[in-house]
């Protein structure tokens, strides 16, 4: 037997160890120098910032509409579940159709899809200002607005991993920070318009602002990839990966806690005896924290790893939710909690693209998000309803105790999932002899 033949036979077990998962079989190796890690990428960051400002930021302002509708019984026969479900639809219904939206992106392109989303979101919110019946509000502020939000935000979240590697999480934090600034503007600004004019004029003003801001963002963003991106709805290799299901549980539980905190803050503040405007300030403080927190978490994540940082962040989120929000009985505590929770609660939007890229690589980034967002959408629809159903008939803030406990436990479960997922990726890389796809980002987890 020749030396070459011996080496060939001896290499077979090693090769099996290098690809322990079917998921990694066809992940191509690329030159990491192809990723600019800056340059034109910073313009894309600004564009994504504006897209998040006018989509997720505007959507976070739903809390003021929810409080107004619940307090004034705007539509005859509507229950609190109806209003919560409209908020859930706005948050998650369009996202459930992510496989179709992902396929549509392959046809229209990234900019074309975001442009379509901008039109749909404007039409939904603007027409909501003329509704007279509950079913009309469901279709406009709920359904149509939700599809617009999904067509804007879903392609936007996949842009920055194409432009950054070492500073990927930091760039993601800056881009998603736009939702924080947007939340401040739309919570405080639209509350003022609501008080000065009417809820209908607040909706019109919001729709026009979002239309202009997102239009500027469309001009700034640009997809960058030299490889074929998969615009399919489902991938068998991703479905075989155990880490994918840990990620699914993480996003579901994180969305439960996130949406309940976001949509309940105004009502909880009012239950303490404060005015709706003071409640909108508390809700806006969540967004203030978000604006500063997401880039900071991203910057630290680039040093220690997105998964490591995510574990720490969501453990702290659970602790503050149960230890600070639950016993809160004065405005100062609510403001402090809102800022703290805002700093860390929305970290999912900055770290998720990095975690997905680390798990499956850039080639399968779109299809993996397509599968994940199905679960995010379902959780988004359910979470506002869960939050209201868990409220009791007690007088004062005690009526929200069960709701807050549920949110805190959801954050705790999401942290546990990240801890397990981190161990999974470390073990996978060790089995593969420490060789990982450069496009998956930093070797830190």
Lookup: tokens for 31:
């030159």
Angle at 339 between CA 205 and CA 279, to 5 degrees: 50
Which CATH fold would you assign to the domain 37-440?
Growth Hormone; Chain: A; (1.20.1250)
**What pTM was estimated for this model as a whole?**
0.77
Coil/strand/helix, residue 305: coil
d(CA 409, CA 326): 12
Average pLDDT over the chain, rounded to an integer: 82
Closest CA to 219 of 115, 121, 109: 115
Q: Answer whether residue 23 shows pLDDT above 80.
A: no
Q: What is the largest CA-CA distance in the chain?
A: 90
What gap in Å lies between CA 74 and CA 65, rounded to an integer?
10
What span, in angstroms and rounded, lies between the C-alpha atoms of 322 and 359?
A: 31
Q: Using pLDDT thresholds of 50, 70 and 90, give the confidence band for residue 102.
A: confident
Q: Are 158 and 224 in contact (CB under 8 A)?
A: no
How far apart are alpha carbons 157 and 155 in whole angstroms?
6
Residue 139 predicted with pLDDT over 90? yes
Contact between residue 110 and residue 159 where contact means Cβ atoms under 8 Å apart: yes
Angle at the Cα of 301 from the Cα atoms of 297 and 305, rounded to 5 degrees: 150
pLDDT at 92 over 80: yes
- Tally of CB atoms within 10 A around 415: 22
Has residue 74 got a pLDDT over 60? yes
Task: Report d(CA 202, CA 194) in Å as an integer.
Answer: 5
How would you class 418 by CB atoms within 10 Å of its CB: exposed for 0-12, middle for 13-18, buried for 19 or more? buried
- Answer whether 349's CB lies under 8 Å from 228's CB: no
Q: Is the pLDDT of residue 115 over 90?
A: yes
> Can you give the pLDDT at residue 87?
83
Neighbour-count burial for 360-390, b at 16+ CB within 10 Å, e otherwise: bbbbbbbbbbbbbbbbbbbbbbbbbbbbbeb
Domain ranges of the chain: 37-440
Residue 22 in this model has a pLDDT that exceeds 80: no
Please give the residue that has the higher pLDDT: either 64 or 272.
Answer: 272
* Tokens of residue 294, six digits: 């997401």
Cα 112 to Cα 192: distance, rounded to the nearest angstrom: 34
pLDDT tens digits along 29-52:
444 446 677 778 899 999 999 999
> Residue 91, SS3?
helix
DSSP code of residue 242:
H
pLDDT tens per residue across span 296-344: 887 888 788 889 999 999 999 999 999 999 999 999 999 999 999 989 9
């Amino acid at each position: 037997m020749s030396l070459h033949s011996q080496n060939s036979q001896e290499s077979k077990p090693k090769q099996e160890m290098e690809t322990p998962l079917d998921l990694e079989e066809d992940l191509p190796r690329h030159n990491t120098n192809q990723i600019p890690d800056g340059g034109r990428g910073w313009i894309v960051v600004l564009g994504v910032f504006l897209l998040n400002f006018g989509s997720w930021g505007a959507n976070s302002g739903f809390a003021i509409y929810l409080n107004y509708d619940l307090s004034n019984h705007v539509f005859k026969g509507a229950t609190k579940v109806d209003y919560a479900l409209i908020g859930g639809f706005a948050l998650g219904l369009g996202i459930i159709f992510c496989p179709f939206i992902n396929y549509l992106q392959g046809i229209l392109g990234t900019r074309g899809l975001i442009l379509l989303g901008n039109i749909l979101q404007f039409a939904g919110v603007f027409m909501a200002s003329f509704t007279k019946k509950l079913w009309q509000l469901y279709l406009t502020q709920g359904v149509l607005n939700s599809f617009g939000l999904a067509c804007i935000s879903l392609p936007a979240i996949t842009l920055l991993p194409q432009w950054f590697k070492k500073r990927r999480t930091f760039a993601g934090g800056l881009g998603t920070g736009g939702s924080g600034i947007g939340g401040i503007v739309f919570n405080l600004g639209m509350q003022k318009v609501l008080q000065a004019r009417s809820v209908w004029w607040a909706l019109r003003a919001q729709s026009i602002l979002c239309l202009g801001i997102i239009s500027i963002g469309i001009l700034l963003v640009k997809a960058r990839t030299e490889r074929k991106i998969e615009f399919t709805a489902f991938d068998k290799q991703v479905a075989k990966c155990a880490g994918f299901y840990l990620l699914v549980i993480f996003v579901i539980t994180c969305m439960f806690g996130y949406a309940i905190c976001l949509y309940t803050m105004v009502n909880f503040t009012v239950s303490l005896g404060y005015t709706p405007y003071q409640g909108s300030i508390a809700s806006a403080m969540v967004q203030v924290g978000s604006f500063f927190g997401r880039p900071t978490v991203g910057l630290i994540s680039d040093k220690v790893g997105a998964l490591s940082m995510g574990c720490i962040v969501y453990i702290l989120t659970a602790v503050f939710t149960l230890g600070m929000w639950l016993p809160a009985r004065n405005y100062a505590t609510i403001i402090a909690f809102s800022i703290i929770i805002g700093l860390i609660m929305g970290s999912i939007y900055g770290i998720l693209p990095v975690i997905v890229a680390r798990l499956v690589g850039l080639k399968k980034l779109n299809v993996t998000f397509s599968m994940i967002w199905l679960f995010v959408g379902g959780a988004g629809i359910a979470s506002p309803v869960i939050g209201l159903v868990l409220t009791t008939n007690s007088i004062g803030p005690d009526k929200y105790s069960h709701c807050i406990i549920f949110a805190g436990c959801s954050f705790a479960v999401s942290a546990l999932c990240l801890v397990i997922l981190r161990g999974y990726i470390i073990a996978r890389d060790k089995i593969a002899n420490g060789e990982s796809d450069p496009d998956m980002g930093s070797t830190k987890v």
